[in-house]
Amino acid sequence: MPEVVVKIPEELEIGFKELGESEANEIVCRALREHLSERLMFKLAGELLKESKITDEMALEWGNELKERVAKHLN
């Protein structure tokens, strides 16, 4: 398995030292996994939408309509 060296900023150093090696490793792995998943999701979305006719205005309008419907449903 590849290894990664992480430089910890001074403002996080005290809290980081309180973590055990296993816990610190788990936190870094989880953060890396989430970041890579997000990048892949945006890359895939970009590929799916590159031929789309949907405008930013349409997406915002649909988002607002969805928020209103969800709010009505929850109340």
Is 3 a member of any domain? no
Is 52 a member of any domain? yes
Q: Is the pLDDT of residue 73 over 90?
A: no
Query: What's the pLDDT at 75?
Result: 74
Is 68 a member of any domain? yes
Is 33 a member of any domain? yes
CA dist list (Å): 3 to 19, 28, 35, 52, 66: 19, 11, 17, 40, 44
Domain total of the chain: 1
Tens digits of residue pLDDT in 12-25? 999 988 998 899 99
Query: What's the pLDDT at 49?
Result: 84
Is 1 a member of any domain? no
Tens digits of residue pLDDT in 2-54? 888 989 999 999 998 899 889 999 999 999 999 999 999 999 988 988 888 98
Is 4 a member of any domain? no
Residue-number span of the structural domain to which 32 is assigned: 10-74
Is 30 a member of any domain? yes
